[in-house]
Amino acid sequence: MVNQERYTHFIKTTAHQLGFNFCGIARAQLLTDDAKRLETWLSKGMHGNMQYMENYFDLRIDPTKLVPNAKSVITLLLNYFPDKTQNLNAPKISKYAYATDYHDVIRNKLNEFIKLLKENIGDINGRGFVDSAPILERSWAQKSGLGWIGKNGNLINKQSGSYFFIATLIVDIDLNYDNPIAKIIVAPVQNV
């Protein structure tokens, strides 16, 4: 238990040192409710032309299929809201595309993170992901207390909104787990 606390503290501190804005941790487990929602979503054809969403269903809902003996899912958020506004005469591009490709930036941070974990915790097995595996990142972010999934399908963080890239580290060590964010239900407006 003392090691779990020490490891958890090290992970959260390291996440911030590497430039991540938020770090949450959830127990690695089968995502039963998400599996039902995903199955219904797919069966209704809600994924349109994104046939890849039908692939690797078992990997999407079970982190132990991606990292054998997985115990913990670490979710990391990196804010991408740009400091500068776009040139008015330039073609309009999405805010997340203003800078270097986020896949490269975050992948480098995740590789460094895993290296630091191995140097400071010991021989652990883990993998980092940023849009590189069939992971339900938003579900894990919600389970690890980082926010809730809004009507628009985005993860909403109470302090900072939705301008985040989501990265995931799955590791085979027990950690202290954060409390999930309860689903926020917006009541319909009543006509008076």
**C-alpha torsion 54→60→62→63, nearest 10:** 150
Q: What are phi and psi of 149, to 5 degrees?
A: -95, 120
Pairwise CA distance, residues 60 & 65, whole Å: 9
The distance of Cα 127 from the centroid of its chain, to the nearest Å, equals 13
Q: Give me 151's structure tokens.
A: 């009507």
Active site residue 131: yes
Pairwise CA distance, residues 113 & 108, whole Å: 9
Pairwise CA distance, residues 64 & 59, whole Å: 8
HSE at residue 86, side-chain half, CA atoms within 13 A, is 13
| Active-site residue identified among 33, 58, 101, 131 | 131
Query: Which residues does the annotation mark as catalytic?
Result: 131
